[in-house]
């Protein structure tokens, strides 16, 4: 579920940043800065922000909803823990995809837009019939890379919840770590990693196949 | 908003009042969105920095649910930073991280670029097979091999009569020096360099190593920077592997240190935020200085598709 949200958000950011506006580079720098912030640090800051009761996020939601929402016990509620961690993962990672999209946007030849304009295409039509199709390869790459990243999730879940509550934030790698390392079941853990690797391999092959079809057309 | 813009581009004189108004409204809306997003991306970092300089722990707790969480007020100073230094060998952790990541990056760029150069220019038996294997290795995530690798670094040296590699610097450096993706980036760059220069140098009697050093490296600085930056971002935050292979304080890098510090009770948030700031600030400064390079490096990873 992180994947479509994060990909869409990254595209939106890239479109915003791709405009010719004053101080746009400053915004680009700001959007990208979480990427260079170490994940452990990010997880710790957000644990503080998600503090049950009087944490900033509870207070913020409470204020903008005039007291209707909250307070929530974000990280200890099995229903909320995973979405809460997703938000910070997106916060940290989306700048990366934004830059990749930005590079993709800048490679779209301007004559395509000029042609579309002469044909009387509106801005919206230009986006759906020029920008999106031209970004097809970039999108495939971003989606695949984000999917693989989601499978590799470990650090933030381990620091914030250790996979709990009630395994709500359990990931493959946490399972491997706990089983293979803490409980000494190396064989079992290795078996999981083999399956994990096969999944990643399948996703990567899928990417190759899709891209090859594209080229042969 | 999109609708409003559509109607302006479809009709209306560019000099009419309505057009200018709508244009201005569009611009304002744009900036509102941009600034709101900037706040979203900045607030946790500002929160960390501001909390870290509030000397009074109760103030940090009291302010955390209001806008004052982002305002440095009350007793401001560096007491939290002093606390971190007194309670933990912070300098040791910083040295460990810098040394480990520095070694991976510096040794890595030479190892990876040399093999990439050999693959790009020399013809030797098995070159094609080696290249395919390296490209195939790019899809193997580190997490998939972490458990078996742990066995290798623990039991392997014992079998050969050495002591285990667990809890050392080299166990955190050697497995990461050679990196398939770095080799691929170098390889792609090197095959794009025209051969003429090298042929001329060969005629003049230069050795391959000499060519690599005096021609290839100066021509390839951008890709060297790309690989160095990508390796740096990846390994500065390394968490799983050090968690598995370090036991005591001696060889522990920063991410593990702060996680242990964070796990203690009672949690002194001011101190924790000071620790977090000290990990983050150096990287942020490096990023701000070289941000053009950072952005280009990330962008170049996407183009391979």
Arithmetic mean of pLDDT, B158-165: 75
pLDDT in tens, A48-57: 888 777 778 8
Arithmetic mean of pLDDT, B119-125: 87
As a whole number, the mean pLDDT across chain B is 82
Domain membership of residue B33 (yes or no) is: yes
Report yes or no: B91 at the A interface, CB cutoff 8 Å: no
Q: Note the pLDDT of residue A213.
A: 64
Domain membership of residue B41 (yes or no) is: yes
How would residue B14 be classed by pLDDT, with cut points 50, 70 and 90? Answer: low
Report yes or no: B24 at the A interface, CB cutoff 8 Å: no
Does one domain contain both B29 and B173? no
CA A3 to chain B, closest CA, distance in angstroms equals 16
Does one domain contain both B207 and B259? yes
Q: Is there a contact between A16 and B301 if contact means CB atoms under 8 Å apart?
A: no
Does one domain contain both B195 and B268? yes
User: What residues make up the domain containing B15?
Assistant: 2-77
Q: Is there a contact between B303 and A51 if contact means CB atoms under 8 Å apart?
A: no
pTM score of the predicted model: 0.81
Cβ under 8 Å to A: B residues 222-241 = 233, 236-237, 239-240
Chain A contacts of B41, Cβ < 8 Å? 30-31, 33-34, 91, 95
Q: Which of A45, A54, A155 sits opposite B48 (nearest CB)?
A: A45
Q: Is there a contact between B305 and A141 if contact means CB atoms under 8 Å apart?
A: yes
CA A81 to chain B, closest CA, distance in angstroms equals 18
Does one domain contain both B50 and B117? no
CA A170 to chain B, closest CA, distance in angstroms equals 15
SS (H, E, C) chain B: CHHHHHHHHHCCCCCCHHHHHHHHHHHHHHHHHHHHHHHHHHHHHHHHHHHHCECCHHHHHHHCCCHHHHCCCCCECCHHHHHHHHHCCHHHHHHHHHHHHHHHHHHHHHHHHHHHHHHHHCCCCCHHHHHHHHHHHCCCCHHHHHHHHHHHHHHHHHHCCCCCCCCCCHHHHHHHHCCHHHHHHHHHHHHCCCCHHHHHHHHCCCCHHHHHHHHHHHHCHHHHHHHHHHHHHHHHCCCHHHHHHCCCCCCCCHHHHHHHHHHCCCCCHHHHHHHHHHHHHHHHHHHHHCHHHHHHHHHHHHCCC
Q: Which chain B residue has the Cα nearest residue A117? A: B9
Q: Which of A46, A122, A152 sits opposite B44 (nearest CB)?
A: A46
Chain B contacts of A196, Cβ < 8 Å? 141, 143-144
pLDDT in tens, A126-172: 888 888 888 887 888 788 878 877 877 888 888 888 777 777 778 87
Q: Which of A146, A64, A67, A62 is nearest to A100 (CA)?
A: A146
Domain membership of residue B47 (yes or no) is: yes
Q: Does the pLDDT of residue B7 top 70, yes or no?
A: no
Final residue belonging to a domain, choices B47, B77, B107: B77
Does one domain contain both B162 and B241? yes
Best mutation site among A29, A41, A103 for testing chain B: the one with the most B CBs within 10 Å?
Answer: A41
Distance CA A96, CA B59 (A): 35
Does one domain contain both B111 and B71? no
CA A79 to chain B, closest CA, distance in angstroms equals 23
Q: Is there a contact between B240 and A104 if contact means CB atoms under 8 Å apart?
A: no
How would residue A217 be classed by pLDDT, with cut points 50, 70 and 90? Answer: very low
CB hemisphere CA count around B134 (13 angstroms): 21
Best mutation site among A38, A62, A129, A134 for testing chain B: the one with the most B CBs within 10 Å?
Answer: A38
Q: Note the pLDDT of residue B81.
A: 85
Chain B contacts of A151, Cβ < 8 Å? 141
CA B140 to chain A, closest CA, distance in angstroms equals 7
Does one domain contain both B36 and B141? no
Cα separation values, A130 from A115, A137, A185, B302, Å:
10, 13, 53, 20
Best mutation site among B65, B154, B260 for testing chain A: the one with the most A CBs within 10 Å?
Answer: B65
The structural domain count of chain B equals 2
How would residue B10 be classed by pLDDT, with cut points 50, 70 and 90? Answer: very low
Q: What is the number of CB-based contacts under 8 A between chain A and chain B?
A: 197
Helix (H) or strand (E) holding A140: helix A136-151
Q: Which of A152, A200, A143, A129 is nearest to A9 (CA)?
A: A143
Does one domain contain both B200 and B288? yes
Domain membership of residue B185 (yes or no) is: yes
Q: Is there a contact between B148 and A193 if contact means CB atoms under 8 Å apart?
A: yes
Geometric angle at alpha carbon A174, from A37 and A195, rounded to 5°: 115
Does one domain contain both B120 and B236? yes
Distance CA B70, CA B278 (A): 18
Q: Note the pLDDT of residue B4.
A: 40
Q: Note the pLDDT of residue B109.
A: 92
pLDDT in tens, B261-289: 888 777 788 888 888 898 888 888 888 88
Query: Options 3.40.50.720, 1.20.1250.20, 1.10.3720.10, 3.50.50.60; which CATH number does A2-139 get?
Result: 1.10.3720.10
Q: Supply the CATH number for residue B265's domain.
A: 1.10.3720.10
Does one domain contain both B155 and B13? no
Domain membership of residue B46 (yes or no) is: yes
Q: Check residue A15 and report its DSSP letter.
A: H
Q: Note the pLDDT of residue A216.
A: 53
Cβ under 8 Å to A: B residues 111-150 = 139-141, 143-148, 150
Arithmetic mean of pLDDT, A111-134: 84
Q: Note the pLDDT of residue B114.
A: 93
Domain membership of residue B65 (yes or no) is: yes
Q: Which of B45, B280, B299 sits opposite A99 (nearest CB)?
A: B299
Distance CA B165, CA B173 (A): 11
Cα Rg, chain B, nearest whole Å: 26
Report yes or no: B94 at the A interface, CB cutoff 8 Å: no
């Amino acid at each position: 579920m992180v994947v479509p949200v994060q990909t869409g958000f990254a595209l939106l950011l890239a479109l915003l940043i791709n405009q010719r506006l004053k101080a746009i580079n400053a915004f680009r720098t700001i959007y990208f800065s979480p990427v260079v912030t170490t994940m452990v640090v990010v997880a710790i800051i957000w644990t503080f922000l998600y503090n049950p009761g009087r944490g900033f996020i509870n207070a913020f939601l409470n204020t903008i909803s005039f007291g209707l929402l909250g307070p929530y016990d974000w990280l200890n509620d099995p229903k909320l823990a995973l979405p809460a961690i997703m938000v910070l993962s997106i916060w940290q990672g989306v700048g990366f995809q934004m830059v990749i999209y930005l590079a993709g946007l800048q490679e779209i030849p301007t004559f395509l837009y000029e042609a579309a304009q002469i044909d009387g295409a509106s801005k919206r039509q230009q986006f759906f019939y020029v920008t999106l199709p031209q970004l097809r390869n970039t999108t495939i790459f971003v989606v695949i890379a984000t999917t693989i990243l989601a499978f590799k999730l470990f650090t933030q879940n381990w620091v914030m919840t250790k996979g709990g509550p009630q395994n709500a934030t359990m990931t493959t790698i946490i399972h491997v770590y706990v089983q293979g390392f803490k409980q000494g079941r190396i064989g079992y853990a290795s078996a999981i990693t083999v399956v994990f690797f096969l999944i990643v391999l399948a996703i990567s092959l899928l990417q190759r196949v899709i891209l090859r079809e594209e080229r042969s057309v | 908003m999109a609708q409003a813009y559509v109607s302006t581009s479809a009709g209306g004189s560019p000099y009419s009042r309505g057009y200018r108004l709508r244009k201005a409204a569009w611009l304002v809306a744009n900036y509102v969105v941009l600034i709101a997003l900037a706040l979203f991306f900045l607030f946790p970092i500002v929160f960390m920095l501001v909390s870290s300089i509030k000397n009074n722990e109760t103030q940090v707790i009291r302010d955390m649910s209001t806008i004052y969480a982002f305002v440095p007020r009350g007793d401001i100073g560096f007491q939290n930073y002093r606390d971190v230094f007194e309670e933990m060998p912070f300098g040791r952790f910083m040295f460990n991280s810098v040394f480990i990541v520095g070694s991976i990056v510096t040794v890595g760029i030479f190892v990876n670029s040399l093999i990439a150069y050999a693959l790009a220019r020399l013809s030797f038996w098995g070159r094609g097979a080696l290249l395919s294997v390296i490209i195939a290795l790019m899809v193997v995530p580190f997490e998939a091999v972490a458990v078996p690798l742990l066995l290798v670094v623990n039991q392997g040296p014992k079998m050969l009569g050495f002591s285990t590699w667990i809890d050392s610097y080299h166990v955190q450096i050697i497995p990461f020096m050679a990196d398939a993706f770095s080799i691929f980036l170098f390889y792609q760059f090197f095959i794009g360099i025209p051969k003429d220069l090298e042929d001329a140098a060969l005629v003049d009697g230069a050795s391959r190593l000499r060519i690599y050093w005096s021609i290839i490296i100066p021509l390839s600085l951008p890709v060297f920077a790309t690989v160095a930056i990508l390796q740096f971002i990846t390994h500065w935050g390394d968490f799983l592997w050090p968690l598995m292979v370090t036991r005591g304080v001696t060889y522990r890098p920063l991410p593990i240190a702060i996680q242990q510090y964070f796990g203690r009770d009672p949690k002194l948030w001011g101190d924790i935020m000071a620790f977090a700031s000290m990990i983050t600030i150096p990287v942020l400064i490096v990023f701000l200085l070289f941000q053009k390079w950072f952005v280009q490096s990330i962008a170049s990873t996407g183009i391979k598709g």
